[in-house]
Amino acid sequence: MKTLIFVLGFVIACSKETVEKASETGTIKYIEEEEEVKPAGVIPADDCQQVNRGDKACNFTLFDQNGEVWELYDHQGNVILLDFSTMWCPPCQAAGHYMQPLQDDYASQNVQVVTVLIDGPSYGVAPTEKDVDDWATQHNVTTAPVLQGSRELMYDSIGLEGYLIGSYPTYIYIDRNMKFYNAHVGYNDEYARQTIEEGLNL
């Protein structure tokens, strides 16, 4: 079985305790949406993992740049490009300008481009609501969500309860059935477009 991502660099395992979302006004332990309480971050399940091509992605919920809940499984039926980036990473900053044009070019074909910020401006420090908003503004993002992630909410060293991310930026492609079909480290616009097309033709 082909491995989806080779872990490069330092990876922090997800905590098995209750995940939390830091905000400027305090700590929110759960996302409340339509009277349903959902944990923030990755939602582990027996039928999903983030290890090999063909694995079903685990669902996750995070807040976007507008302070609204964004849930992965709400977008089943779309081809999804997940961009895992940090604010301190120069290649991430350079690639950030390509995300909204990708979304614009493929929106009519049911493609969703999503950036998950793992760190704010400092290494290992989770992004704030302001950081996520600043990223969206800086990169002229309007319809490609920028999500407030963190190492604690999104990482797992073995890919069962979180995502295996070792370098930035990392891109993961998910097909219409929520299965991984490609991943790479570093951005190349032509290759990203070819890989989206591949997903549309599966």
The answer on pLDDT for 55 being more than 70 is yes
Locate 36 and state its tokens: 């349903």
Q: Which residues contact 102 (CB under 8 A, 6 or more apart)?
A: 81, 111, 113, 144, 189, 192, 193, 196
Lowest-confidence region among 25-29, 106-110, 131-135, 192-196: 25-29
The model's pTM is 0.81
What's 21-200's CATH class? alpha beta
Quote the CA–CA distance of 23 and 121 in Å, as a whole number. 16
The answer on pLDDT for 199 being more than 60 is yes
Domain extents in the chain: 21-200
CA angle 59, 62, 179 (to 5 degrees): 25
Q: pLDDT digits over 137-157, tens only?
A: 999 999 999 999 999 999 887
Q: Mean pLDDT for the chain?
A: 84
Average confidence (pLDDT) over 9-18:
28
Which of the four pLDDT bands, split at 50, 70 and 90, describes residue 35? low
